[in-house]
Homo-oligomer: A and B are copies of this chain.
Amino acid sequence: MEKLRKIGFSRLTPLEDAMEKLFSKIYLNPIEEIEIKEALNRILAEDIISEMDIPPFNRSAMDGYAIKAEDSFGASPKNPKRIKLIGVIEIGEASNLEILRGQGIKISTGAPTPKGAEAVIKIEDTEIEDNTIILYTSLTPGKNISKKGEDIKKGTQVLNKGIEVKAEHIALLSSLGFKKINVRTRPKVSIFGSGDELIEPGNAIEPGKIYNSNTPMISNLVKLYGGTVVRGETVKDEKQSIKNKIVDATQDSQVIIFTGGTSVGTKDYLPEIIQESGIILTHGIAIRPGSPALIGFFNEVIIFCLPGTPVAAYICFLQIAGPAIRKMMDCIAIDPRIKLSAIIKKDVPVSSLGFLHHLRVKIEYIYNEFVAYPVKLKGSGVISSLTESNGIVEIPPHQEGLKKGDQVIVKLFPK
């Protein structure tokens, strides 16, 4: 505790508490109506109730002949039955034909079955001779007919609000005749990399400087999580210019994400600025890497100050900023990452209790099970520890590391 005070945190807040506090202050984004075909990855803002039956009519599940089932009873290759062909129904055609005993109608897969039809005999179980259909098999009533409403009944809730729309949802909504749906607007996000050491990629490197990798990384994570990037810039460690950037961004953004400048170095102005002109909700979170993270508000705008080291910034985005963006859209899956279970292949000691540790692992599928290899555990600046791994294992604050052979949950990197 004494140590923490020295680096400027009065205390470290557990991640869950920090997020609960933040979520209690988040308002949902407005709803907008968009074309369904443009809805990929958007967050549905309404429950969807089917306004029709699927199928919308009794339809043939096969290319064949609609018949009275009884006419086929006892039919076999050795004992074929014969009925009369009285017409054809093509797919997409509404027919007034009606079947009586001893009659059959040629019908395509998906075409509406005619009045009186009890079954459809597959074309390969028949032969045709002039106007006679020869039946080689016996059918039970209902065979090869998809009944109106058997897949989806009118009035059924088919999708829940808060889901992320995927290709299969687009298919379902289209098949129900919907052309537009209500989704949550995308949160508008401004992203700043703070630090005098930053040079933009493409320029020559200078002594003591490094290339800015956080702004492009966070911008793309924001896109993956459903937000819209309003701006991505680097700013110098200069108090007034940082403040001006924040004020500008509050005009057109709902979220501001800084990387760097959030600790307590001589040039870490962000906490000071937010303290003076906004509200600090949480500064210092009990996670590693990422403990200097700050969550605050500047007017109505959420401001996240994430550490400047890229791995810490990445992990803080996944755990803090990303879930907040999804919460604004009322997502069911606040955390979109896929989880799988694996066996850890090495002991992982934890140096300091009290932190939620984030272990980067590489997954392999060996002998029928997933195994997770810890990727080198050093500095949080090492981006290659991300590109060489597939996901993260979280080690809870009061667990003394992992033992080789432990079953763990791996949260795969978002894609």
Contact = CB atoms under 8 A, between A and B. Distances in A.
Given A167-B224, A168-B387, A263-B109, A151 B93 contact: no
A169 interface: yes
Contact of A55 (B93, B210, B386): B210
Interface in A123-164: 123-124, 146, 151-152, 158-159, 164
Nearest to A219: B37
A330 interface: no
Contact of A151 (B199, B208, B338, B379): B379
Contact of A211 (B90, B174, B308): B174
B208 A172 contact: no
Contacts of A338: 338, 340, 412
A383 interface: yes
A99 to B, nearest CB: 16
Give the copy number.
2
A175 B310 contact: yes
Contacts of A266: 88, 90, 108
B151 A382 contact: yes
B207 A387 contact: no
Interface centre among A169, A179, A267, A381 (most CB of B within 10 A): A381
B94 A206 contact: yes
Interface in A111-131: 111-112, 123-124
10 contacts: A6-B123, A40-B220, A91-B197, A110-B210, A151-B383, A167-B218, A172-B383, A174-B217, A175-B211, A179-B200
Given A57-B207, A110-B381, 12 more contacts: A6-B123, A37-B232, A91-B265, A93-B196, A158-B384, A166-B220, A167-B218, A167-B414, A170-B220, A171-B217, A175-B211, A176-B211
